[in-house]
C-alpha cells in the first residue's frame, strides 16, 4: 500500500558478509626457524540487523536500500592475530515491521519495541587459523579453514500498524470523519469511496488523562480477504489492533447484512481476528430519530455492544469512547 510518503511493503535483496579465512603461518625467530604455527583466525562476516525506531511510521526510507550488502570479515594473520569482523549493517524500521522470506513467505522476525535490535541475517563465521590444528602428532599443520559464506536472498519487509483500536468499515462509512473528531488527526475527508488509501493514526483522549491510539484504515469491500480492492494490504494492519470498531452508516440499506459482511471478511482472512473485542457503531446517526434507532437496534447482533454516533452533531461520542475503553481494558487484562 503506497500513497505519497507512506510505504508499508518493500522488497529488498540482502547479503551478509563472508567470514575471513584462517591464516596458515609459522613463527620464525632467531632461536628457531620453525617455532610453531601462529596463523590467526578470520573475522566474522558482517551481520544485517533490524532496529525498532518509534519515530518512523513508514518504510519509505527503505526504498533507497534495495540491495543491502554487509562487509566481509578480514583474513587472519600471523602472530595469532584475528582478522577484524566485517561491519554490521543496522536498518532502522518502524514498530510493527515484520521480516519475511520472499520465496517461502515464512516470517523470520518482527520488531515491536523502540530500540529493539535483532540480528536478521547472520554473517559467515571466520575460519580457524592453523594454530588451532596443532597436535602432539602434527605440530606443523599446513591447513586452515576458509571463512563461511554469508547468507543472501530476496526478503520482504511489511509494516503492520500498531494501534489500540482499528476502524473497520466499507468505503465512505465515516471512519475518517470520526477519527478527526475523536482525535487531533487530520485525515483526508471527502464524499466519495476510498478517500483513505493509507492508514491514519490518532490519539483519542479519555477520562482521567488516559488515552488510546486509533487507526483509520482503508475501507474494506466484500471480497477483500481474496485480495479484491485494497485486499490483504488493508487487512494486514488490523492484526495488531487490540480491539476493533466496526462502522456501519445509518443510511445503509441493511445494517445487519453490512455488519455480517465485515465479520465474514475478517474471518476469511484470519479467524483469530474474531477473538478480538469488537464494538459496533452506527455512524451518521444524526439522520435518525429515536424510533428509527430502536428499529435498527432490534436487528443488530446482541453479542456485540453497539453505539449510535454522529461526528457532525457530536452525538454518542462519549458513550463510544466508554465502550472502546471497556473493550481495551478487557483485552489487556485477559
Q: Same domain, yes or no, for 109 and 256?
A: no
CA pair distance 256, 246, nearest whole angstrom: 12
* Calpha distance 286→181 (Å, rounded): 15
Same domain, 327 and 279: yes
Is residue 41 domain-shared with residue 60, that is, in the same domain?
yes
Please say which residue of 159, 178, 199 terminates a domain.
159
3-state secondary structure the chain: CEECCEECEEEEEEECCCCCCCCCCEECCCCCCCCEECCCCCCCCCCEEEEECCCCCCCHHHHHCCEEECCCCCCCECCCECCCCCCCEEEEECCCEEEEECCCCCEEEEECCCCCEEEEECCCCCCCCHHHHCCCCCCCCCCCCCCCCCCEEEEEEEECCCCCEEEEECCCCCHHHHHHHHCCCCCCCCCCCCCCCCCEEEEEECHHHCEEEEEECCCCCCCHHHCCCCHHHHHHHHCCCCEEEEEEECCCCCHHHHHHHHHHHHHHHCHHHHHCEEEEEEECHHHCCHHHHHHHHHHCCCCCCEEECECCCCECHHHHHHHHHHHHHHHHHC
- In this structure, are 155 and 192 located in the same domain? no
What pLDDT, on a 0 to 100 scale, did the predictor assign at position 334?
47
Same domain as 253, residue 177: yes
pLDDT score at 25: 92
Q: Are residues 176 and 249 in the same domain?
A: yes
Q: Mutual orientation of helices 255-269 and 290-299 as an angle, nearest 10°? A: 40
| Domain-terminating residue out of 159, 174, 198 | 159
Q: Determine whether 111 is exposed, middle or buried from the number of CB atoms within 10 Å of its CB (0-12, 13-18, 19+).
A: buried
Q: How many domains does the chain have?
A: 2
The CA distance from 50 to 119, in Å, is 7
Name which of 263, 273, 236 is nearest 161 in CA terms: 236
What residue numbers bound the domain in which 230 lies? 165-333
Asked if residues 188 and 216 have their Cβ atoms less than 8 Å apart, the reply is no
Instruction: Please indicate, yes or no, whether residues 207 and 324 belong to a single structural domain of this protein.
Output: yes
Residues forming beta bridges with residue 15, ordered by sequence position: 69, 152
Are 216 and 91 part of one and the same domain? no
In which residue are the cell numbers 592453523 written?
Answer: 130
Kindly report the CATH number assigned to the domain that includes residue 205.
3.40.50.300
> First vs last Cα of the chain: how many Å apart?
32
Q: Judge if 175 and 215 occupy the same domain.
A: yes
Q: Which residues pair with 212 in a beta bridge?
A: 204
Spatial separation of the C-alpha atoms in residues 46 and 236, rounded to whole Å? 32
Give the CATH number, domain containing residue 118.
2.70.210.12
Residue 219: predicted pLDDT = 60
Predicted TM-score of the model (pTM): 0.67
Beta bridge partners of 158: 9, 98
Size of the chain in residues: 334
Predicted pLDDT at 282: 96
Distance CA 158, CA 98 (A): 5
Task: State the cell numbers at 213.
Answer: 491510539
The predicted structure's pLDDT at residue 31: 65
Domain boundary among 139, 159, 179: 159
**What are 101's three cell numbers?**
522470506
Residues 250 and 295 in one domain: yes
Are residues 89 and 186 both part of a single domain?
no
For the chain, 334 residues long, give each residue's pLDDT as a single digit of tens.
Answer: 444 456 778 999 999 999 999 999 988 776 665 678 999 999 999 999 999 998 887 888 888 778 999 999 999 999 999 999 999 999 999 888 999 999 999 999 999 999 999 999 999 999 999 999 999 889 889 999 999 999 999 999 998 877 889 888 887 778 888 988 888 655 443 343 333 446 677 888 899 888 888 888 766 654 444 444 444 556 677 777 889 999 999 999 999 999 999 898 888 878 888 899 999 999 999 989 999 999 999 999 999 999 999 999 999 999 999 999 999 987 554 4
- Are the beta carbons of 99 and 154 closer than 8 angstroms? no
Q: What is the C-alpha to C-alpha distance for residues 197 and 306, in angstroms, rounded to an integer?
A: 26
Whether residues 229 and 294 share a domain: the answer is: yes
What is the distance between the alpha carbons of residues 143 and 23, in angstroms, rounded to a whole number? 8
What is the reported pLDDT for 4? 47
Amino acid at each position: 500500500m503506497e500513497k505519497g510518503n507512506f510505504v508499508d511493503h518493500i522488497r529488498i535483496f540482502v547479503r551478509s558478509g563472508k567470514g575471513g579465512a584462517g591464516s596458515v603461518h609459522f613463527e620464525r625467530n632467531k632461536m628457531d626457524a620453525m617455532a610453531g604455527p601462529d596463523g590467526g583466525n578470520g573475522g566474522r562476516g558482517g551481520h544485517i540487523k533490524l532496529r525498532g525506531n518509534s519515530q518512523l511510521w513508514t518504510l519509505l526510507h527503505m526504498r533507497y536500500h534495495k540491495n543491502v550488502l554487509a562487509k566481509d570479515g578480514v583474513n587472519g594473520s600471523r602472530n595469532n592475530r584475528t582478522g577484524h569482523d566485517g561491519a554490521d549493517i543496522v536498518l532502522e524500521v518502524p514498530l510493527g515491521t515484520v521480516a519475511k522470506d520472499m520465496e517461502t513467505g515464512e516470517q523470520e522476525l518482527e520488531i515491536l519495541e523502540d530500540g529493539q535490535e535483532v540480528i536478521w541475517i547472520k554473517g559467515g563465521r571466520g575460519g580457524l587459523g592453523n594454530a588451532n590444528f596443532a597436535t602432539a602428532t602434527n605440530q606443523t599443520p599446513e591447513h586452515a579453514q576458509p571463512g563461511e559464506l554469508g547468507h543472501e536472498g530476496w526478503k520482504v519487509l511489511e509494516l503492520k500498524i500498531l494501534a489500540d483500536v482499528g476502524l473497520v468499515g466499507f468505503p465512505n462509512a465515516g471512519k475518517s470523519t470520526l477519527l478527526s473528531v475523536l482525535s487531533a488527526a487530520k485525515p483526508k475527508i471527502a464524499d466519495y469511496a476510498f478517500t483513505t488509501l493509507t492508514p491514519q493514526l490518532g490519539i483519542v483522549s479519555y477520562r482521567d488523562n488516559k488515552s488510546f491510539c486509533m487507526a483509520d484504515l482503508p475501507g474494506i469491500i466484500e471480497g477483500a480477504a481474496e485480495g479484491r480492492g485494497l485486499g490483504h494490504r488493508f487487512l494486514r494492519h488490523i492484526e495488531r489492533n487490540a480491539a476493533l470498531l466496526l462502522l456501519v452508516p445509518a443510511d445503509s440499506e441493511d445494517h445487519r447484512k453490512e455488519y455480517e459482511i465485515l465479520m465474514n471478511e475478517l474471518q476469511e482472512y484470519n479467524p483469530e481476528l474474531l477473538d478480538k473485542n469488537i464494538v459496533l457503531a452506527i455512524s451518521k446517526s444524526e439522520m435518525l430519530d429515536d424510533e428509527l434507532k430502536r428499529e435498527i437496534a432490534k436487528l443488530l447482533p446482541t453479542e456485540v455492544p453497539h453505539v449510535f454516533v454522529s461526528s457532525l452533531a457530536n452525538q454518542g461520542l462519549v458513550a463510544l469512547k466508554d465502550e472502546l475503553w471497556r473493550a481495551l481494558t478487557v483485552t489487556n487484562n485477559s
